[in-house]
């Protein structure tokens, strides 16, 4: 018999949809995780710290990624209840923690990224359509942090006419506006001139449809080889990761980065905070109000 959803859970899910624009799939995942926890320990609205601690046993056989996701759902739920005045205490400190952190993607240095662009720009200057396409792909991967799927399936209708933004349909069909730089617009314009007419995708495939993710992966590794970089170190996700990490190093706000990357949950964005400790210390010393006292 299906249990009736708790009012606080429904309120929490409504908040995720309204304030964070969470997709239907994301909301369904939160609902399943919260319902599963309630089945194991009873109503979450009245759950005690001791009851929450029992989830460590219930979830003992889960993979670290699944454990982290479930714990994040409950942590956000209890934070919501406290913020809304539904509870005076937050029992989430008793939640089990993953045995290991989610592995970080490989990271390219600023020098390696510069080498990729130097090679791509030099080759594109020759005017060959495929080389112009490669530069446009690189600009959008590193300059805007697009996912591989978002990039290869980019429709012509998403290209801005008079505003420096792309309209991206991300995970779950959730749309977001992504800024693109002046140089990326130039690379896109050059590619569109070389591309010719026909098809509805920015990066069409010779066989119809759009460029595949596999082909994008191959193109990047070939470029890395020509730039003198180990091809194993380069992929679409590595460039997306470099985009995020290098923005944070430059002082970007984590919430802004969450929006740019299209993450429904800020916890997903926090993986990118592994910048040098020295930079973080310097940022606090330079920007904190007490630093000027």
Catalytic positions:
147, 171, 237, 240, 263, 272
**48, two tokens:** 């005690």
Cα dist from 74 to 31, 37, 44, 166, 292, whole Å = 10, 8, 9, 34, 39
Alpha-carbon span 36 to 30, nearest angstrom: 10
- In terms of C-beta distances under 8 Å and separation of at least 24 residues, what long-range contacts does 41-46 make, across chains too? 43/6, 44/6, 44/8, 44/9, 44/74, 44/77, 44/78, 45/6, 45/7, 45/8, 45/9, 45/81, 45/86, 45/87
**254, two tokens:** 């984590």
Alpha-carbon span 71 to 57, nearest angstrom: 13
Which distant-in-sequence residues (6+ apart) come within 8 Å of 278 by Cβ?
none
The DSSP letter of residue 1 is -
> Are residues 241 and 145 in contact, defined by beta-carbon separation less than 8 angstroms?
no
Alpha-carbon span 193 to 129, nearest angstrom: 9
Residue 31 CB-density burial (10 A; 0-12 exposed, 13-18 middle, 19+ buried)? middle
**94, two tokens:** 């008793």
Which distant-in-sequence residues (6+ apart) come within 8 Å of 236 by Cβ?
141, 147, 148, 151, 213, 216, 217, 220
Cα dist from 86 to 46, 122, 237, whole Å = 10, 60, 40
Alpha-carbon span 37 to 102, nearest angstrom: 22
């Amino acid at each position: 018999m299906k249990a009736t959803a708790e009012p606080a859970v429904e309120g929490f899910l409504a908040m995720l949809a309204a304030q964070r624009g969470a997709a239907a799939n994301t909301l369904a995942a939160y609902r399943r995780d919260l319902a599963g926890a309630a089945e194991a320990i009873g109503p979450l609205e009245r759950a005690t710290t001791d009851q929450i601690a029992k989830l460590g046993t219930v979830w003992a056989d889960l993979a670290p990624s699944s454990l982290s996701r479930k714990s994040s759902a409950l942590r956000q739920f209890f934070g919501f209840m406290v913020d809304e005045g539904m509870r005076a205490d937050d029992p989430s400190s008793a939640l089990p923690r993953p045995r290991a952190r989610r592995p970080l993607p490989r990271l390219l240095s600023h020098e390696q990224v510069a080498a990729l662009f130097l090679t791509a720009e030099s080759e594109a200057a020759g005017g060959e359509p495929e080389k112009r396409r490669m530069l446009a792909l690189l600009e959008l991967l590193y300059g805007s942090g697009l996912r591989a799927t978002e990039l290869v399936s980019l429709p012509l209708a998403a290209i801005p006419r008079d505003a420096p933004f792309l309209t991206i349909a991300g995970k779950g069909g959730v749309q977001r506006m992504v800024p693109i730089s002046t140089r990326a617009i130039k690379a896109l314009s050059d590619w569109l001139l070389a591309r010719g007419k026909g098809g509805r995708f920015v990066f069409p495939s010779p066989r119809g449809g759009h460029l595949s993710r596999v082909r994008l992966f191959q193109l990047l590794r070939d470029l890395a080889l020509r730039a003198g970089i180990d091809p194993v170190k380069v992929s679409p996700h590595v460039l997306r990761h470099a985009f995020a990490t290098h923005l944070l190093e430059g002082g970007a706000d984590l919430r802004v980065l969450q929006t740019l990357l299209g993450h429904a949950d800020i916890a997903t964005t926090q993986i990118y905070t592994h910048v040098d400790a020295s930079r973080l210390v310097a940022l606090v010393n330079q920007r904190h109000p007490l630093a000027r006292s």
